[in-house]
Amino acid sequence: MAEGLDPIEAGKQLHEHGNEAHERAERDDQSNAPRDRHSRIVQICEAALLALVTVTAAWAGFSAARWNTASRIEVARSAALRNVATRHFLTALALRNFDSSTFNAWFIALTLHSRHGEIIAENRFRPQFRVAFNAWLATRPMHNPNAPPGPTYMPQYKLAPQTIATALDHRASAAFASGARSGSVSDNYVKITVFLAAVLFLVGIGSNFQLNRVRYALVVFGSVLLIVSIVLIIRQPGLPSL
């Protein structure tokens, strides 16, 4: 009769196999414990880096938009000042042409020895032009070869619209230069935002790697980029007042 399976012996062998499996599981847990600990540490580092980068990127984006707005306002202000300056310049040009025409009428009457024509032309002089005209006559232009060619070359000849146009033109140039500087600062903040986006990319792809060393390296490189971005932000001027 064939010998059957001894239940006691089978139970003993199963118990031994169970103990061996339990011991192997404990050894695996002990060997995986450092790996799990490093994984948790790198996850915490990645989360902290993501939080800092998110806040910094939000600030850089807001600053870039604020400086861009300031740039557009200054450039628009410069254009408005240019338009007003042009209007005053055209007014000054019209006045200069009028003064030249009245002086030419006086000079023609003078060459024709028509005193009546001279008086009519002088009566058409503007009060501001008459001041320069009298100062020019005081230089004895008929006998002094060094006299100025006409009243418009005298220092007493002044056009208020021309003065205003010049002042407005200078203000427009200053406003445009300020707008250009604001645009440059906005561009700098955009560059900083690009650096921060690179950090987000590095941290994002780091979670796809199983090797903790690779993830640590990406976190360190991202931290360096974050520090560089923060230094660049500190070197930028404060937010403009709109």
**So what's the pLDDT on residue 178?**
94
Question: In the structure encoding, which two tokens stand for residue 141, read together?
Answer: 């232009």
Contact (CB, 8 A) for 192 and 235: no
> Is the model more confident about 22 or about 203?
203
Domain assignment present for 12 = no
Q: How far apart are CA 219 and CA 30, in angstroms?
A: 27
Domain assignment present for 211 = yes
Average pLDDT over residues 121-137: 93
| Domain with 57 in it | 44-235
pLDDT greater than 80 at residue 208 = no
Neighbour tally for 85: CB within 10 Å: 21
Domain assignment present for 104 = yes
Domain assignment present for 136 = yes
pLDDT greater than 90 at residue 71 = yes
Neighbour tally for 182: CB within 10 Å: 22
Q: Which of 54, 138, 128 has its CA nearest to residue 96?
A: 128
Domain assignment present for 110 = yes
Q: How far apart are CA 140 and CA 123, in angstroms?
A: 21
Q: Quote the percentage of the chain above a pLDDT of 70.
A: 81
Contact (CB, 8 A) for 131 and 48: no
Contact (CB, 8 A) for 149 and 107: no
Average pLDDT over residues 31-54: 72
Q: What are phi and psi of 139, to 5 degrees?
A: -85, 0
Average pLDDT over residues 174-186: 95
Domain assignment present for 105 = yes
Domain assignment present for 109 = yes
Contacts of 179 (CB under 8 A, 6+ apart): 70, 71, 72, 73, 74, 75, 77, 78
The total of structural domains in the chain comes to 1
Domain assignment present for 241 = no
